[in-house]
Amino acid sequence: MRRKLLRPVVELFERDGSVIDVNMLARNHAFSGSPLWYPLRRLRTFPDRLEKYWPDKNKPPVIILIQRTKLYLGGSRPWFICPRCQRRVGKLYDLRIDILCRKCYDLGYVSQRSRLKKRLAVKIDIIRNKLWSDASGKLIRPHLMFKTTYRKHLNAISRIEHAIRHGLHVSSPRYRRYRERDDEGRYCADELYEQNDLGHET
């Protein structure tokens, strides 16, 4: 039987420093003023683009455009435009050949290689770490945590434990909502979103 080839994972390239994160550069004010040069990464940033230079000087640099979206409380957030698929992405991956997004390189995650029960057990551990527990192991609401938030965490733990016992999948309700996108990948107007959401609930 032919073995199924595993996709390379994102965590491997993040460990090697082959990821270009637009949010990390924006926190360093890379796109806010005059051009900045990062010699270790061979990057030059401008307000509207990023240029990646290669060790081979005969190879032309890769120009990555920057697109901005408005924030609710003012200001804007920068995004990379993938050179191949033209999608807005927050991270690009430098594999020494080209600089593309995760989907163009067909990269996966370590969690996708784990079995269902292991992934659900990790979810429970993440939620339990947000709560307190007494000597007997009973979960306690942390100080200053809202009661609604505490009940939400307890309900999530019970749902995940039920899924582990019966071999079911667990997804958040917000991921089950359907929201249409336009041709450029942006979400449609809120009125259409509310109509679609109400249609799925009925």
Give this prediction's pTM: 0.64
Signed CA dihedral, 104, 83, 93, 123: sign only = negative
Other beta carbons within 10 angstroms of residue 94's beta carbon come to 20
| Two structure tokens written together for 58 | 């005969």
Q: What is the pLDDT of residue 188?
A: 65
The residue ranges of every structural domain in the chain are 10-105, 114-170
At 122, the amino acid letter reads V
Pairing type for strands 62-70 and 76-81 reads antiparallel
**Within the chain, which residues score under 50 in pLDDT?**
1-3, 175, 190-202
Provide the 3-class DSSP secondary structure of residue 20: strand
Nearest CA to 103 among 89, 117, 123? Answer: 89
* Tens digit of each residue's pLDDT (9 = 90 or more) over 114-146: 888 888 888 999 999 999 998 888 999 999 999
pLDDT at 178: 57
**Cα distance between residue 41 and residue 51, in whole Å:** 11
Q: What is the pLDDT of residue 125?
A: 92
What CA–CA distances, in Å, run from 65 to 46, 81, 90, 143?
9, 6, 12, 46
Spatial separation of the C-alpha atoms in residues 23 and 52, rounded to whole Å: 17
DSSP string, 127-177: HHTTSEE-TT--EEPPTT--HHHHHHHHHHHHHHHHHHHHT-----HHHH-
